[in-house]
Amino acid sequence: MLSPTRFIGQPSRRIPLQQPRRATDCLRWTTWGLTFGPLWALLSELRQFLQTKPGHIVPKIIQRLSALFLLPLLAACAGGPSASISDAPVAGYGEVVDNGIIIPAVKPQQFVGSPPREEVNYAGGEASGTIVVDAHARKLYYVMANGRAMRYSIAVGRAGLGFKGSATINRKEKWPSWTPTANMIRTMPEFYAEYAGGLPGGLDNPLGSRALYLYRGGRDSYFRIHGTIDNRSIGRATSAGCIRLFNQDVIDLYERVPLGTHVKSRTIEESERLEGKLMEDEWGLLIPYDESRIEEIAAKRAINEQKLKERVAREAAEAAAQHQAGTLDTGATATN
């Protein structure tokens, strides 16, 4: 199986004598599928076409498409605005060894639109010790005393999938395991079935280095505040609904918050009053709202999506041709 981390610049490295974890496909679909929603239909059509091929070939071709083209292309897109950023490391975001796992440094380019954590003045009014999630501004605040707060950049769920209301942190885990939901396994068994028993913690796990589990009325809400295996997602609405931070940030937050911490989600009205009205640019990053740029951004985004669609189609054709010629690496021999 192709490992997504091999292509997204987040290698799963451990101290010598320890074995790397296996990779999961969760990130691949979350990152590009939710960012470029219309292209999901294209991939669905491709999957239907490939059902005519031998069973063991189908996931191999699709994995190749997603890993070799989609994630690197999104990386290029996200990196466009930051081409002139210095490569100098950012304090607090260097390489970290944690529980024998080496967490890669966050590249400075990945702070464009999603600034590093910072202690800031806070005017929200919540009590000290509260976590405030602003999905509309893609920020998380840990409220401190004397009108101060620690601010973190986050990735959030696309419209309709995000955390709303309030909750309590009733569980905390270091390097948590991850298990796909029954619905994920049912709808896409070729990607998720093998992880039905759970994926151990590590840099191949979509929950990253830490997870804070949100409960309502004593029951698990299935929302988490957690790390990431793709730093490029931070600052974007690309998650399946949870709140995602840089691994370095979620470690910092984990150490600050005790069990029982109250978590509140801001409404759009609260967000606009405190953060200002925002909109997405063509890369999916937030900028101040400017009605005069709406058509321009929509046109640029359409160009980006068309380029991605063309590259997906081109790679599909190449994969199909290689399969017909018997040169596609299937990783297994078909059996009757």
Give the position of tokens 């010790």.
129
Lowest mean pLDDT among 121-130, 183-192, 208-217, 219-228: 183-192
Catalytic residue among 77, 136, 226, 323: 226
Q: Which of 296, 286, 300, 298 is nearest to 238 (CA)?
A: 286
Mean pLDDT of 252-271: 97
What pLDDT digit, counting tens, does each position of 287-322 carry? 999 999 999 999 999 998 888 888 878 878 888 888
Query: Is 61 within 8 Å of 328 (Cβ atoms)?
Result: yes
- The Cα 204–Cα 22 span in angstroms is 6
Determine whether 262 is an active site residue. no
Give the closest residue to 30 by CA, choosing from 195, 215, 236.
236
Alpha carbons 328 and 227: distance in angstroms, whole number: 35
The per-residue pLDDT for 160 is 52
Known catalytic membership, residue 56:
no
- The pLDDT value recorded for residue 329 is 52
pTM of the model: 0.73
pLDDT for the residue 162:
80
- Supply the pLDDT for residue 239: 66
Domains of the chain, first to last: 4-288 (2.40.440.10)
Residue written as token pair 């940030």:
249
Residue 129 CB contacts under 8 Å (≥ 6 apart), including other chains: 143, 257, 261, 262
With pLDDT > 90 as the criterion, what percentage of the chain qualifies?
49
- Count how many Cα atoms sit within 13 Å of the Cα of residue 55 in the half-sphere of its side chain: 5
Q: Which amino acid is at 20?
A: P
The pLDDT tens digits for 78-129 are 344 545 667 778 999 999 999 999 999 999 999 998 999 999 999 999 999 9
Question: CB-hemisphere CA count at 13 Å for 54?
Answer: 14
The catalytic position among 77, 136, 242, 323 is 242
* pLDDT reading at 205 higher than 70: yes
